[in-house]
Amino acid sequence: MPAISPVTIRRARRDDVEIIVRMLADDPLGGARERIEDPLPPSYFRAFEALEHDPHIQLVVAEGGDGIVVGCLQLCILPGLSSQGASRGLIEDVRVASHCRSRGIGEQVVQWAVAEARHKGCKLVELLTHNTRVDAQRFYQRLGFQPSHVGMTLRF
């Protein structure tokens, strides 16, 4: 079993956008959805600005000891009336750089998000993972998540 690589979790900056988009694209599902060009299409930077100014959203990256970004995750803390007005945490866009997998990086990033959601008063953390991502489902179950729901999507 490979050694665990400890990472630092920090908020993403504008100069991380390219490496994040590359991680999103380096994936059987994401590959078809992203556009990797030099420079990147401006829509990515517009989205980053919207994220940066949203007080409920944290896009974070995991940085290795050498300062290289090796993972990312987006956490939204969403207020709502249900469960006695408890907020919910929504985890999205979890990725670990393909050459750094199986070193516990995904676990550190997700555990950070779970702790952060709890700290912000959430009673529930939720996420959708594609039916084909069987390894991801096993990974989340190991971290205590239950496959309790059907995740339904409508794409335009």
What is the closest distance, in whole angstroms, from the C-beta atom of residue 52 to a copy of itself in the complex? 9
Tokens read off for 106? 């995904």
Q: Kindly tell me which of 5 and 17 has the beta carbon lying closer to a copy of itself.
A: 17
Look up residue 51 and give its amino acid. Answer: L
Are 76 and 89 within 8 A, CB to CB?
yes
What residues from 49 to 68 belong to the interface with a copy of itself (CB under 8 A)?
50-51, 54, 56-57, 59
The neighbour count for residue 80, using CB atoms within 10 Å, is 10
Site string for a copy of itself, 19-38 (x = CB under 8 A): -xx--x-----x--xxx---
Instruction: Name the DSSP class of 66.
Output: T
Task: State yes or no: residue 142 binds a copy of itself (CB under 8 A).
Answer: no
Q: Kindly tell me which of 5 and 92 has the beta carbon lying closer to a copy of itself.
A: 92
Among 47, 60, 102, 103, binds a copy of itself (CB under 8 A): 47
Tokens read off for 17? 């956008």
User: Which of 101, 80, 93 shows the shortest CA–CA distance to 128?
Assistant: 93
Look up residue 118 and give its amino acid. Answer: R
CB-based contacts of 59, cutoff 8 Å, min separation 6 = 11, 12, 20, 48, 51, 72, 73, 74, 93
Task: State yes or no: residue 98 binds a copy of itself (CB under 8 A).
Answer: no
**Which residues of the chain form contacts with a copy of itself (CB under 8 A)?**
17, 20-21, 24, 30, 33-35, 41, 43-48, 50-51, 54, 56-57, 59, 74, 76, 78-88, 90, 92-93, 114, 118, 122-131, 133, 137, 140-141, 143-156
